[in-house]
Amino acid sequence: MSDKYNYKYVKNALGRMVPREIDGRKLKPYKGAFETKGGIRKYGPVGSKSLPGDNKMLKSLKEAIKATSLKSGMTISFHHHLRNGDGVVNMVVDAIAQMGIKDITLAPTALFPVHEPLIKHIKKGVVTNIQGSMNGPVGEFISYGGLPTTAILRTHGGRVRAIEDGDLHIDVAFIAAPCADDYGNANGVYGPSACGPLAYSDADAMYADKVVVVTDYMVPYPCVPYSIPSTHVDYVVKVPSIGDPEKIVSGTTRITRSPTRLLIAQYAAKFIIDSGYFKDGFSFQTGAGGISLAITKFLGEEMERRGIKARFINGGITKFAVDLFRSGLTEVLYDGQVFDTHSIESFRDDLHHVETPMTMYANIHSKGCLVNRQDIGFLGATEVDVDFNVNVNTHSDGLLLHGIGGHTDVAAGAGLCMIVIPSYRKRLPIIRDRVTTVTTPGETIDVIVTERGIAINPMRKDLVRRFKRSALPIKPIEQLKEEVEKITGIPEPPKLKDRIVALIEYRDGTIIDVVREVKR
Amino acid sequence: MSDKYNYKYVKNALGRMVPREIDGRKLKPYKGAFETKGGIRKYGPVGSKSLPGDNKMLKSLKEAIKATSLKSGMTISFHHHLRNGDGVVNMVVDAIAQMGIKDITLAPTALFPVHEPLIKHIKKGVVTNIQGSMNGPVGEFISYGGLPTTAILRTHGGRVRAIEDGDLHIDVAFIAAPCADDYGNANGVYGPSACGPLAYSDADAMYADKVVVVTDYMVPYPCVPYSIPSTHVDYVVKVPSIGDPEKIVSGTTRITRSPTRLLIAQYAAKFIIDSGYFKDGFSFQTGAGGISLAITKFLGEEMERRGIKARFINGGITKFAVDLFRSGLTEVLYDGQVFDTHSIESFRDDLHHVETPMTMYANIHSKGCLVNRQDIGFLGATEVDVDFNVNVNTHSDGLLLHGIGGHTDVAAGAGLCMIVIPSYRKRLPIIRDRVTTVTTPGETIDVIVTERGIAINPMRKDLVRRFKRSALPIKPIEQLKEEVEKITGIPEPPKLKDRIVALIEYRDGTIIDVVREVKR
């Protein structure tokens, strides 16, 4: 394999060709889900000093940018707890652009449609690299070759690993804080832009050279509880607003009403209940997707019926998880992000609803993270393939439109990892011979549940055996694929150019796949 | 200055002669309370990896010691939340001795009389260095030259600084945990040996090469809340008992009944109330000493009378602080350690009674620690001198009998730092021309309060002016000293040998004084 970009390729453990080097960065091919050696010494962040009378309050973002000595060529980071309501990324990059700073690497945990204005900054050379998840327009822009360098996508656990291992050095972290004091202690539970935990920023605060807290709601020192401690914060800036509360969390999260999706949820719940994992003291991860919420609800009903309690739910927390918690059906809620106002209140007020720093959530180079102890996870996908590899990043047309989140992390950790998806979308089949992009390796996926049938990964002989006589519509994945293709036909492969526009990094830092430029 | 040990001396900023090097360790002389440069890159701890199915439970301490690859010449650490009830230090060192391991450096946060059995291990060469506070018999043993090397005493903030800056490398941290799960998440709030926070171990867990949690009370995974996260723990060992609950916390903490001490507390409270620092939203630090508790009580009464509320109390938390908290007289309790069962319950149950990791408490090389934001601190002493230098480590006979705790940290941080002490003890005057050992530099001490009068540091011209017409018995420190000496006489200087048995490290890592061997 060769092309005009002179990539030197190597085949990784999934048979995907990945470059040995790109943009001057040496790369390692993916070797298997659990092949990491570990033992890499953690990055030693730059120290500081702390004297009485130090003043961290600055009058404007520009003053803060100046104080951090941010220069062209540096890397800045953000969290995405404010999701599509975030005002801080655009605000900071606008200020940077106005100050004539260029060639910035953005390292957000994720970007959303609200961040579309970044495109103009990319076009003008203000932003020249992105390392982070991209949901929507910025990802699409990059798919068409808009970024002059190669983007890097990482999982939640992979990002914190990269920071701790020194692979991702952050010069300045800008932390949007719904509530803060003048010394930089910050939380996400008070103020007009309350969002719950600030867990995505934990490592940024700890490892960035300089840390700026940006808030629109200040409390007298000390801001307690704090997700971000003053010990990690250099400067605090108060701005009129950090975001649009309506788009940060929803007042309500809703279960799917689609009969197809409800059927998927019913199949998934039934599979879980029969799997052997559903017993007193079990644990599961849930998110805010419509199918995921429905499964949570069905599991809750069955737990009540059987008198079974969960030990913990790992989330993405919504009202549905909080309701289980409040009715005593789970003892602990582990919370990386919340999706509705109801959940913010629970997180704020309950000592057993705790924040999950990302290294605790999923860092494969920690000494023991949460996903490893999780019994069940149910996850989405844009595509799966007959090897059970999962794509969550690109669509079948090749466009990079979604981030990874904790997908790969949960798949690797959970005892039972289930993909819950409709068998086709917009007449495109979801089960493919080969996913357009591998995000999560098939060896970590146990079951794929669609409305048309359930496929068990043959590597899970125990599950295959267990469900041999099940009334559930269990079938080989190839058969499921053929049934769907009879309805949808086999779609054209995406029209791709040679150029690699993004790398998909596995949670251990190896390259699991690449994303190529899409032809217009 | 020279002697048979060939110390090469340098005079530090307080005029004390300190060696340039000892035991092969290069030393820096103290230059002033706030002269640290900072900017030292933090130590990068050794990394690990974390896979599903990892088992951390080991059957015995010896198995754990073996698993950590602990070898002769290495450094092990402990916390002192179990105080004089601790069973873990002796248990671990006994096991190490039995395994034939020698030449160990102990790095406890503090040792207590219960640790007297260490003396036999020092005599046999199992333990050859101690870096940590020593209360009682081990300190006395070292004073008489019992340790073959030079001990190092650090403040709470200084110890965490030393760990973070890489000055104190811990090979294996043994963390006594009142409650833990099989993955190493641990807290101090449940179980028979409950002690409250585990804040003294925070940095040990984060920076030690290997971390062993030793517990006598296990809960199903996940142990929530956790003070020590599983991400930092290599092994977990369950033992029958980690300590003697009766000696870990007291059922009750008692205010002094001594009329002298009550008078000191009254003077101190009056001084604080008149100082300008006593106003709505103020903050103070309190401990468990009899005078300190009385001051807290008096301040509480006055707060109630005037309708003044504190923003936070920084402690050493006791029932007295908790009572103020529960009656709404302070909004936040910051808690490094608790002293009674009443306070454990508050710490366990209240979201605004929060744990203070030591770097947050007092690390001068953090980006902003708690002591810097504290208005008032009242502290004890064994001696003070006319330059307001304070000794908390040695007695006037030169014996090293006490640790530093947060003394020096609070003095440096607090707006108003007050020493509250009887003017003499056992006919020994407390105010000296020159303290036997400088623990805390005079430039950070504002006021000395005794039952015979109050001396304001002349550097604090604002306070001198403010109290010019006060009814309080304010007098120059020299006058106070002479009045006391009229009663006690001037004691003989301690009989010391040339050998330096311990270094007193200032919170920034420089050497503020040395402790010499005492003649028998």
Q: Which helix (H) or strand (E) holds A122?
A: helix A118-123
Q: How many CA atoms lie within 13 A of B433 on its CB side?
A: 4
Q: How far apart are CA A358 and CA A378, in angstroms?
A: 19
- Which residue among B225, B231, B363 places its CB closest to the CB of A354? B225
Position A286 scores a pLDDT of 87
- Which residue among B38, B49, B352 places its CB closest to the CB of A364? B49
CATH entry, A259-494, from 3.20.20.140, 3.40.1080.10, 3.20.20.70, 3.30.460.20: 3.40.1080.10
Position B3 scores a pLDDT of 61
Question: Are the CB atoms for B139 and B402 separated by under 8 Å?
Answer: yes
Please give the structure tokens belonging to residue A181.
């004091």
Domain ranges of chain A: 55-131+168-248, 259-494
Across the interface, whether the CB atoms of A368 and B165 are under 8 A apart is answered: no
Q: How many CB atoms lie within 10 A of CB B478?
A: 12
Sign of CA dihedral A104, A108, A114, A116: positive
Position A3 scores a pLDDT of 61
Q: What angle do CA B138, B197, A360 make, to 5 degrees?
A: 115
Helices and strands, counts by H and E, chain A? 15, 31
For residue A352, list chain B residues with Cβ-Cβ distance below 8 A: 224-225
Q: How confident is the model at residue B518 (pLDDT cuts 50, 70, 90)?
A: very high
| Angle of helix A290-306 versus helix A319-326 axis, rounded to 10 | 10
For residue B367, list chain A residues with Cβ-Cβ distance below 8 A: 48, 50, 184, 211, 230-234
Q: How far apart are CA A68 and CA A63, in angstroms?
A: 9
Please give the structure tokens belonging to residue B325.
């908290």
Percent pLDDT > 90 in chain B is 94
**Which positions ≥6 away from A187 have C-beta within 8 Å?**
A177, A178, A179, A180, A198, A223, A225, A226, A227, A228
CA B120 to chain centre: 25
Reply yes or no: is the peptide bond before residue B29 cis, omega within 30 of 0: no
Q: How far apart are CA B122 and CA A309, in angstroms?
A: 51
Beta strand segments in A230-329, E? 235-238, 282-286, 310-317
Beta bridge partners of A137: none
Position A1 scores a pLDDT of 46
What is the Cα Rg of chain A in Å? 22
Position A287 scores a pLDDT of 81
Measure A333 CA to nearest chain B CA, in Å. 9
| DSSP structure class, residue A494 | P
Position B65 scores a pLDDT of 98
Instruction: Looking at A366-517, list the stretches that DSSP marks H as alpha helix, in order from N- to C-terminal side.
Output: 407-413, 461-466, 477-488
Residue of A367, A408, A506, A508 to mutate for B, most B C-beta atoms under 10 A = A367
Position A235 scores a pLDDT of 98
Beta strand segments in A12-123, E? 17-19, 21-22, 25-26, 57-58, 75-78, 104-108, 110-111
* B363 φ, ψ (degrees, to nearest 5): -80, 115
Helix (H, G, I), strand (E, B) or coil at A10: strand
Q: How many CB atoms lie within 10 A of CB A433?
A: 11
Beta strand segments in B427-510, E? 428-429, 431-432, 447-450, 453-456, 496-505
- Which residue among B39, B184, B332 places its CB closest to the CB of A368? B184
Q: How far apart are CA A123 and CA A117, in angstroms?
A: 10
Class at the top of the CATH hierarchy for domain A55-131+168-248 = alpha beta
Single out the residue of B408, B416, B389 nearest to residue B477, CA to CA.
Answer: B389
Measure A50 CA to nearest chain B CA, in Å. 5
For B217-266, what is each residue's pLDDT tens digit?
Answer: 999 999 999 999 999 999 999 999 999 999 998 777 788 899 999 999 99
Q: How many CB atoms lie within 10 A of CB B422?
A: 17
Q: How far apart are CA B423 and CA B452, in angstroms?
A: 7
* A459 φ, ψ (degrees, to nearest 5): -60, -25
Residue of A31, A37, A50 to mutate for B, most B C-beta atoms under 10 A = A50
Single out the residue of B107, B114, B117, B118 nearest to residue B85, CA to CA.
Answer: B114
Across the interface, whether the CB atoms of B41 and A39 are under 8 A apart is answered: no
Q: How far apart are CA A298 and CA A292, in angstroms?
A: 10
Query: Is pLDDT of B453 > 60?
Result: yes
Q: Which amino acid is at A513?
A: D
Across the interface, whether the CB atoms of A368 and B56 are under 8 A apart is answered: yes
Question: Are the CB atoms for A134 and A144 separated by under 8 Å?
Answer: no
Across the interface, whether the CB atoms of B372 and A40 are under 8 A apart is answered: no
Beta strand segments in A91-234, E? 104-108, 110-111, 127-130, 133-134, 151-153, 172-177, 179-180, 186-187, 210-215
Beta bridge partners of B390: B384, B440
Q: Do domains A55-131+168-248 and A259-494 have the same CATH topology?
A: yes
Residue segments in chain A with a per-residue pLDDT below the cut of 50: 1-2
Helix, strand, coil shares, percent, chain B, to 5:
30, 25, 45
Say how many residues make up chain B.
520
Instruction: Looking at B144-198, list the stretches that DSSP marks H as alpha helix, in order from N- to C-terminal side.
Output: 156-165
Q: How far apart are CA A120 and CA A133, in angstroms?
A: 18
Question: Are the CB atoms for B501 and B516 separated by under 8 Å?
Answer: yes
Q: How far apart are CA A87 and CA A366, in angstroms?
A: 32
Q: How many CB atoms lie within 10 A of CB A301?
A: 12
Position B255 scores a pLDDT of 87
Across the interface, whether the CB atoms of A368 and B183 are under 8 A apart is answered: yes
Question: Are the CB atoms for B227 and B186 separated by under 8 Å?
Answer: yes
For B330-356, what is each residue's pLDDT tens digit?
Answer: 999 999 999 999 999 999 999 999 999
Beta bridge partners of A10: A18
| DSSP structure class, residue A262 | H
For residue A413, list chain B residues with Cβ-Cβ distance below 8 A: 52
For A179-221, what is each residue's pLDDT tens digit?
Answer: 999 999 999 999 999 999 999 999 999 999 999 999 999 999 9
In chain B, which residue's Cα lies nearest the Cα of A359?
B231
Question: Are the CB atoms for B196 and B179 separated by under 8 Å?
Answer: no
Q: How far apart are CA B363 and CA B508, in angstroms?
A: 8
Percent pLDDT > 70 in chain B is 99
For residue A37, list chain B residues with Cβ-Cβ distance below 8 A: 49
Across the interface, whether the CB atoms of A47 and B41 are under 8 A apart is answered: yes
